[in-house]
Amino acid sequence: MPNVSKTTSLEHRKSLALALVSARSVHEMENFLVDLCTPAELRALSERWHVAKLLNKGELSYRDINAETGVSTTTIGRVARFLKEEPHQGYQTMLARQVG
């Protein structure tokens, strides 16, 4: 999106976030995500979330997670950084809300 200003991009991101939180069921959210994302994008998002859950458990090394999931160690490292170091704490917030 080279012609989109930073402000407009942030507005678009906020609009997307509002759409995501408006889903009233898991089924609605899944349908929205399938419509919104390509299969590759959805797979990447799903893989990152799975990696975040594995890292949060703290039982596996990056190499073990790579062997189990096929996700690159670079992606695993990025998820780990956002999980532990970045100020957003989005992963931590969502992990804390997970049931089971």
pLDDT of residue 97: 93
How many Cβ atoms sit within 10 Å of the Cβ of residue 71? 19
Q: What is the C-alpha separation between 85 and 62, in angstroms, rounded?
A: 17
Overall number of domains in the chain: 2
pTM for this model (two decimals):
0.85
- Within this chain, do residues 61 and 75 fall inside the same structural domain, yes or no? yes
pLDDT of residue 72: 98
- Within this chain, do residues 49 and 71 fall inside the same structural domain, yes or no? yes
- Within this chain, do residues 56 and 28 fall inside the same structural domain, yes or no? no
pLDDT of residue 33: 98
DSSP single-letter state for residue 57: H
- Within this chain, do residues 97 and 53 fall inside the same structural domain, yes or no? yes
Which residue, among 65, 64, 56, has the nearest Cα to 94 in the 3D structure?
56
Q: What domain range is 1 assigned to?
A: 1-36
pLDDT of residue 100: 54
- Within this chain, do residues 44 and 32 fall inside the same structural domain, yes or no? no
What are the pLDDT tens digits along the chain (100 aa)?
556 677 899 999 999 999 999 999 999 999 999 999 999 999 999 999 999 999 999 999 999 999 999 999 999 999 999 999 999 999 999 999 986 5
- Within this chain, do residues 46 and 72 fall inside the same structural domain, yes or no? yes
